[in-house]
Structure formats: C-alpha cells, structure tokens
A and B are shown apart, each in its own frame.
Chain A
C-alpha cells in the first residue's frame, strides 16, 4: 500500500489531501478533503490526472483571442493540445463559448471572449 499527498486544485481553498493506494495503483481511501469534489480530484489525480488548458489563438485579423478546453484533458496531452491551439486560426466574428477546434483529447477548444 502506498500513500500520495496531494494539494487539491479544484477550488482556492487548496486542501491537503491524502490518497491511500493499493499495489495496482487503485485508490482505496481519500482523506483531508472538505468536499466531494476533492475526493474525486484525488482519485483522478492518482489514476488519470486531468487539466483545463487555457491559452490564446490567432484570429483572422491578426489579433489573439483567449480560448480554453471546455472540459479538462489528460495532463500528459497539454503540450499536444497547445500545438493544436497554436496551429489554428479563429475566423471572426465569434461569440463567447463558440467552439473553434472540436474533438481535442475528449474536449473542445472554445473562445472565452466576444470578438467582432
């Protein structure tokens, strides 16, 4: 059995979490969390860590616009995701929430700002 100490990134509280793992890396117990999402985070973090990626993308007029993955993606795919974002071009106009690249590691890239 192994123990992993984690800091929860779900909210600004930043709880100190402890996850008990068995030999196969399965999470047996999470302690230190003050909400349900904390336990969920610890479990994911030990098995398949996920992150929301935020960045900017070029627009057709040469400016940049902020974008994000609409849901978290596997942590190991962050740089591949950045490559896709950096290759893409956003055709204006766009409205907040518009998806500009679909199907990115189980998520989508959406703009987070309006631009005419």
Chain B
C-alpha cells in the first residue's frame, strides 16, 4: 500500500506532491512516463512562466526546476520511464517500466496529473495528400528545442493558440520563413502579448477567419490551400489561395489525456474532457483527485501549480480521513459560460471558481445565482475564451446555497 500515488511528473504532479508532503503525507510516489521530470515545460524554452508564482519571468525548464529541486531535496520518490496502463475504482494502479516490468500498486489516494495532448490532423478532416512535413506545433517544438532538428524551412501554421504563436517565433529565429498563421475563429486563442512579440515582431501575418482546406505534395508538403471562412466556419470558395511551403504546423487545441481515468469509471465532463471535480479537485471516485491540464486546459502554468496544490492538500486530508464532504452544491452554467471548475462544492469554505466563456464579450457582468437570487456579481471590460476567468465565492455566500448557476450578461 502506498498512501499517495501521483500519475504524471510535470508541473501539476510535482506541485501536488509538494503540497501533499507539506500537509504531512510522507508515503508518496510519482510515476512519470518521460525520462525526466518537468513534463511539457522541458520543451517550452521561452520565457514568461512564473510571473504570478515567483514574480519573475522564467523559462519553462527554469520553472520546472524550481519544483524538481524541491522534490529532490525532500526525497519524494519518483519513477521515470514508467507508464501507467490502468487504474481501477479501488485505486489499484498497473504500470510498467523496463526495470520493474509490469507491477501493481495499491494506493490510498491517487492524484491524476497526466496533462494533455495535441489534437492531430486526423481530427480536422483537412483534404489533400498525406506527405511528410505536417506536424503538431508541440512535436515541432520538441524537435527544435530538445532534439536540435529543424522540421522545415517554409512554414504555414494553422491555429493561433499560444503554442502556434510561440512556434512561429521559434521557427523564425532559427531561420525559417513563417508565411502565415491561419486562425479559423475571428479572434486569436492566444495571449495578446504573444501576437505582439511572436508575430508582429517578425512581420508574420495573422489571418483571422481563415483555414487550411487542402495539403499539397506527394512525398513532402509542397504547399497548402487556404481560404477565408464564413460566419459558420465554412470555407468560401472564391477566397482560396495557394501558399507554397514545405511544412504545416497544427496548433488546433489540446485534449486532456483521460484514457485511464475513463477506464477507472471516473465521470468525465464533455466540455472540458476532464473529470468532474469538487472544490477539493476530488473526482467522482472518492480519493481520486485531478489537477492541471488533465482536468482542463490552462493558459498559464502558474494556475496549474495553484490547482495542483489544492489537489495535493485535499488528498492529504483524504488520507488522514479529514476531507470535508458535508454539503453538495452543483454549479451550472448558462450558454455564455462554457464550463466551470469545480463543478460542485462540497464544503462551506471560500471557494475559487475558474471558468471559461464561449466567445469574446465586452462589458460583461458575471452573475452567480442561487436559484433566482443573485448572490455575487462582478464586471469585466472584456472576456475572451482564451483567458480563464476566476471569481472567489466567500463561505458565507454558500450558507443557504442549494444549486448555483454562473451566467454572463452582456450590454
């Protein structure tokens, strides 16, 4: 029996482990499938991480090291090159590596911190041939930043999420010509600062309401056809344009990696593709917690660390038999608010609610209802799907709450 097993040794897994340790848990094991701790931060060599947490701009590897160093100092055990293949509702974990073979661990509590993976070309139905030179942006990032290979010289990027923007700059710095970044939506999903410093600094055009409709080339990408899309996202035929390129990078969304969560029978939210959780980040299976990008995709690693600490602290309470679950208030959303995390509140404590909106809205008022009664409201000059929102509900607001609904009013 291991008290706490953490699946994933990225920023979420390490933060969760440290928080659990600080709350008295000593019997911890982190399982990590890569050969190093740090997760995706290892390949995010650009700066901008840690402003909230540390008040300074760190690169990904530097941010990860702050946590890894502490994990090592405290002697928290971890197994690298170890793949978890299955977890059960009884919290039995089956994993494998080349030293231990296939082995099982019975855990008292589990924290899911497996992160997310990129949507691939197959999910997009782009017509055309299947040549070499089509990469997800993250794969290209790994090739350039960790392996030292350039995936191509003339590049078109589909998707203007932060990874796509960061890779536009990275490829440019390494001598490639980035011809365009196409974005299906009429707005970018990335941070404004990244459009400024990754595209504008390098004179890379951002084509909003544009998509790639065809890939050309037999052995290697020879070009792509792009087109403007109408308000329904449908390509407009007479706007089609051929762009010569040898590489297409896809930055078209991230999917939490919840295969083992699903097989354990954990309830998964169809919008976040992550588990339904309470404010303690406990999933539908008692004693199984989730945090980081496996729960919902975050904009900033600082928020991942914060969420993972919540999961770690509460896993420690669960192990000690002190986790509070005395009430059950579900949180619903209206159409303008796509989802919240958590989706239920089970203790009358000050609770931070994280949520994402469905569209870009200006002069929006966020309202929290208990039945028909407004118990909280706050105004924002602008909200966008790419920016996670957060409100704090004080414990006294939850006194008489039965069912909460979060809505957005736009004037």
Contacts and interface: CB of A to CB of B under 8 A. Distances in A.
Interface of A: 6-12, 14, 16, 51-56, 58, 63-64, 66, 68, 75, 78-79, 82, 96, 112-114
Nearest to B66: A96
Nearest to B175: A82
Given A10-B193, A56-B144, A112-B62, 14 more contacts: A9-B193, A9-B196, A9-B197, A16-B192, A52-B57, A53-B173, A55-B173, A64-B148, A66-B145, A68-B47, A68-B59, A96-B62, A112-B61, A113-B61
B201 interface: yes
Contacts of B361: none
A56 B144 CA distance: 8
B65 interface: yes
A14 B165 CA distance: 15
A9 to B, nearest CB: 4
Nearest to A85: B173
B65 A12 contact: no
Nearest to B145: A56
Contacts of A53: 173
Contacts of A112: 45, 58-59, 61-62
28 contacts: A7-B192, A7-B193, A8-B193, A10-B193, A11-B193, A12-B51, A12-B191, A14-B191, A14-B193, A51-B197, A52-B57, A53-B173, A55-B45, A55-B173, A56-B45, A56-B144, A56-B148, A63-B148, A64-B148, A66-B59, A66-B61, A68-B47, A78-B201, A82-B173, A112-B61, A112-B62, A113-B42, A113-B65
Nearest to A96: B65
A30 to B, nearest CB: 16
Q: Which 6 A-B pairs have the closest CB atoms?
A: A14-B192, A66-B45, A64-B148, A9-B193, A113-B61, A7-B196
Interface of B: 42, 45-48, 51, 57-62, 65, 144-148, 173-174, 191-193, 195-197, 201, 299-300
Contacts of A79: 173
A64 B65 CA distance: 18
Nearest to B57: A52
B300 A114 contact: no
Contacts of B173: 53, 55, 78-79, 82
Contacts of A114: 65
Contacts of A9: 193, 196-197
A69 B146 CA distance: 18
Contacts of B45: 54-56, 66, 68, 112
Contact of B59 (A7, A14, A54, A78): A54
Contacts of A10: 193
Contacts of A64: 145-148
Nearest to B62: A112
Given A66-B59, A78-B173, A113-B61, A54 B148 contact: no
Contacts of A113: 42, 61-62, 65
A12 B59 contact: no
Nearest to A69: B47
Contacts of A54: 45-47, 59
